[in-house]
Amino acid sequence: MGFVELALIAVGLSMDAFAVSVCKGLGMRKLNWKHALVIALFFGGFQGIMPVIGWALGTQFESYITSIDHWIAFVLLAFIGAKMLWDAFHEEDECTECKEGEERLDIKELVMLAIATSIDALAIGITFAFLRVDIVPAALAIAATTFVLSFVGVATGNQFGSRFRKPATVAGGVVLILIGLKILLEHLGFLG
C-alpha cells in the first residue's frame, strides 16, 4: 500500500472524529486550546490503537483466508464507506446534543466517543493484516492525521459551526469505497 492510499485511508477514517470534534467546538463559548488538545489526543490515540488491535486479530486468521483476503478488504472498506455515506444523509444532526456554553470535558464521554469513532479503524487494521501492511507507520499515520483533523475540527466548530460535517463525511465514505474497489481490481488483475 502506497503513501497516497494510506493518507487517503487516514483522512477517511478521521472524518467521524472530525465531525464529533466540530460538535465539541460548537459547545465552547470561546475556543479552549487545552480542551481542543485533549480531544485531539483522545481521538488520535484511539484511532492509532484500534488498527493495531485489528491487525493483531487479522494476522491470527491470515492463513485461513489468504485466498479471499482481497474480497474481505473490499467488503470491509466498502461497508465502512457505505456506512459513512448512510450516516451523512440519514442521521439527525449529531450536534443537537451539544450544550451551549459547555466548558468542562467529561473524560468518560470522551472515551466513549473515541471508541465509537474508531471502530472503523479496527476493521481497517484487519484489512491491513491481509494486505501485509507495515502496521506501525500505518497506525502512526492514522493517529497523527486524526489528531490534526480533530484539533482543527474543534477550532472549526467553534468558529464556523457544523456546515462542513456532512461534506467531510461523504468525502471520507467515497474515498474508502474507492480504495476498497482498487484493492479488489488489483487482485483480480484488472489494474496493474
pLDDT tens-place values along the chain, 192 residues long: 788 999 999 998 998 889 888 878 877 778 889 999 999 999 999 999 999 999 999 888 877 776 777 787 788 778 877 887 887 788 665 554 444 444 578 888 889 889 888 888 998 999 899 888 999 999 999 999 999 999 999 998 888 755 666 776 777 678 778 877 887 888 888 986
Q: At what angle do helices 165-187 and 3-26 cross, to 10 degrees?
A: 160
pTM of the model: 0.73
Nearest to 76 by CA among 153, 187, 185, 177: 177
Cα–Cα distances (Å) from 118 to 35, 69, 122, 128, 187, in that order, read 20, 22, 7, 15, 27
pLDDT for position 33: 93
One-letter amino acid of 152: V
pLDDT for position 164: 64
One-letter amino acid of 168: A
Phi, psi angles (nearest 5°) of residue 104: -110, 150
Which grid coordinates belong to 116? 465509537
Return d(Cα 102, Cα 97) in angstroms, integer.
Answer: 11
